[in-house]
Amino acid sequence: MRSPVTGIVALLALLLVMIVAYMSLFTVQQTEQTIVLQFGKPVDVVTDPGLHFKAPWNSVINVDKRILDLENPSQEVIASDQKRLVVDAFARYRIKDALRFYQSVGSIQAANLQLTSLLNAALRRVLGEVNFITVVRDEREKLMGRIREQLDHEADGYGIEVVDVRIRRADLPEQNSQAVYQRMQTERQREAAEFRAQGGQKAQEIRSKADREATVIIAEANSTAEQTRGVGDAERNRLFAEAYGKDADFFAFYRSMTAYENGLKSGDTRFLLRPDSDFFRYFSNPSGKTATETPAKP
């Protein structure tokens, strides 16, 4: 029979084996790379995901190998034309050399602080060489590429690769922006007033030309009308003369009827004439002859 001491020893031995096995195994996730430390000194770097072995007395430090974001607070930068710019930028990076990263900065928080300082220096160097218009409009993409290259070169010593650098906003400070907006507004108002003045002058020229042409057209029309009226009056007089030559009595009758039509219209016109006046001769005698002109009956 086994003694109780033997069972306890076996159980302790099994427990010790389990503890040693547990301390000798470690897992590397797909998003991580692991540094193996022996008494605080790195002895190995494991990048393959899965279950791995180590000495029980060794420790491990996991380092993220995904692309990380670096948020940089807004910085004031002076461009080459001495204009102040408020620049809001950010970067993306990944840890390509876990051992160098651990030996140089040690943690992601410390890396962010160091990269922030390097990014601000790169922003000032690159943007300080160009003017305001180049930064905000003309060559922003090219400038971001230059900043990324400089930051990547400086971050290489920390085992970091800078993937991208972007400028969210590059604008004048608020007080400068207000002054620029007011100056732009004043300039637009001046241009608008100038355009209105030019338009008014052009409208006056067109109106004067139209009035002059209208006066000429009306004068020519009146002249043509007078000529036509003169020709008509001449033709009328000729016809009257021919009618008078052919039948003097009928012509006298026609003239009297026309005088009746024009003189006896409705209105306030009044005539004070004797009934036996020559004007009413056709009322008393259809032939239009007066009593002295009527021959006496035999």
DSSP state letter for 291: T
Whole-angstrom distance, CA of residue 92 vs CA of residue 70: 6
The pLDDT of 51-79, averaged and rounded, is: 84
Q: What is the pLDDT of residue 54?
A: 79
β-bridge mates for residue 60, sequence order = 36
pLDDT tens track for 149-164: 999 999 999 999 999 9
83-87, 109-113, 163-167, 269-273: least confidently modelled range: 269-273
Q: What is the pLDDT of residue 256?
A: 72
Whole-angstrom distance, CA of residue 223 vs CA of residue 219: 6
Percent of the chain with pLDDT over 70: 78
Q: What is the pLDDT of residue 296?
A: 44
Answer yes or no: is pLDDT of 12 > 80: no
Answer yes or no: is pLDDT of 18 > 80: no
Predicted model pTM? 0.54
pLDDT tens track for 225-242: 988 988 888 887 787 777
